[in-house]
């Protein structure tokens, strides 16, 4: 397949909304996604870490892709996260979401097993060669305990439909290392909210964002200012955003992001166990950060220029 994809800008890692009995609230999730598209995001990632992928059944994942495709109405690409225990399970889910209409997949390493580098590379290669969809390789070693290093990614450069690398390690030097070896072979995406401007400065084309679920216009504006090199305009917005963006780097990032969504009326804070509601002290901290952010919410610079 062709490497020509048009993935750039902010792709929120969309939250999955639940009913009080923890069943998926598809109507509410449709509304969340439609509102994000209305507010100008450039793409969508469903069933990612923030979407609680590992707490969902395969049938729920397929339905969520269908919901996202309907809500987006082909205005932005819809990428489906894939996080499975085995390579074959990931291959099977990739086939399912391709049938459901996904425009691409965001592939995580095989979960639970701590693979060696050659095993990690083979997992990505096997899934990618099983599908016609473009693949975003997702690296998040703090969470998934498996590090997709630049050397591993570079070894996959011959796999045509591995087209994108999302890095949540926080080490922006990796983007430079990859470009030094293979140029622009891979589209690079920031995956950790609180290093997004630094990531853009060293070549990131996009941002899979957690906190843009609650602040999509601020996220897209920040990204576009930085991408245009308008750092004098970007930095005041980044400084305002930073206490919120730090919430994306916590182990309980899903609960934090969904609470922020709830506070601004864009979703609910309910998560599916084993994720539980934030303890009182943590909830109070998030509420305090949000209160200050909303009190000082800046006017956004013009990004149409």
Catalytic residues: 138, 166
78 φ, ψ (degrees, to nearest 5): -115, 115
208 is in an annotated binding site: yes
Using alpha carbons, select from 244, 136, 250 the residue that is nearest to residue 189.
136
Phi-psi region of 170 (alpha: psi -120 to 50; beta: other; left: phi over 0): left
Q: Which residue's entry shows tokens 């602040």? A: 215
Backbone angles phi, psi at 189, to 5 degrees: -125, 135
Which burial class, exposed, middle or buried, applies to 141 when counting CB atoms under 10 A from its CB (0-12, 13-18, 19+)?
A: middle
3-class state of residue 66 by DSSP: helix
CA distances from 162 to 167, 200, 203 (A): 14, 21, 18
Could you give the 3-state DSSP secondary structure of residue 118?
helix
Structure tokens at 246: 């730090």
Residue length of the chain: 305
The residues pairing with 9 across neighbouring beta strands, listed in sequence order, are 206
Tokens of 108: 């995580």
Distance CA 224, CA 235 (A): 12
Dihedral sign computed on CA atoms, order 5, 184, 106, 45? negative
Annotated binding site: 208
Annotated binding site for pyruvate: 208
């Amino acid at each position: 397949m062709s490497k020509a994809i048009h993935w750039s800008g902010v792709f929120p890692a969309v939250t999955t909304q639940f009913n009080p009995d923890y069943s998926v609230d598809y109507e509410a999730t449709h509304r969340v996604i439609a509102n994000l598209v209305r507010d100008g995001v450039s793409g969508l990632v469903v069933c990612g870490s923030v979407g609680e992928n590992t707490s969902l059944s395969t049938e729920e994942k397929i339905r969520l892709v269908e919901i996202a495709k309907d809500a987006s109405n082909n205005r932005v690409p819809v990428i489906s996260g894939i996080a499975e225990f085995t390579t074959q399970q990931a291959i099977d889910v990739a086939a399912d979401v391709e049938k459901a209409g996904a425009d691409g997949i965001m592939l995580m390493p095989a979960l639970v097993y701590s693979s060696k580098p050659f095993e990690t590379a083979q997992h990505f290669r096997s899934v990618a060669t099983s599908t016609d969809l473009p693949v975003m390789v997702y690296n998040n070693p703090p969470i998934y305990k498996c590090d997709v290093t630049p050397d591993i990614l570079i070894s996959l450069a011959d796999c045509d439909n591995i087209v994108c690398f999302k890095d949540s390690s926080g080490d922006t030097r990796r983007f430079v290392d990859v470009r030094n070896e293979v140029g622009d072979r891979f589209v690079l995406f920031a995956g950790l909210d609180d290093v997004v401007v630094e990531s853009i400065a060293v070549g990131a084309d996009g941002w899979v964002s957690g906190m843009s679920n609650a602040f999509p216009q601020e996220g897209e504006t920040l990204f576009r200012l930085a991408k245009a090199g308008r750092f004098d305009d970007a930095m005041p917005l980044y400084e305002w955003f930073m206490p919120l963006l730090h919430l994306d780097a916590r182990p309980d990032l899903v609960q934090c992001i969904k609470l922020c969504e709830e506070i601004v009326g864009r979703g609910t804070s309910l998560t599916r166990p084993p994720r539980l509601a934030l303890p009182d002290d943590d909830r109070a901290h998030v509420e305090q950060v949000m209160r200050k952010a909303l009190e000082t919410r800046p006017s956004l610079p013009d990004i149409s220029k």
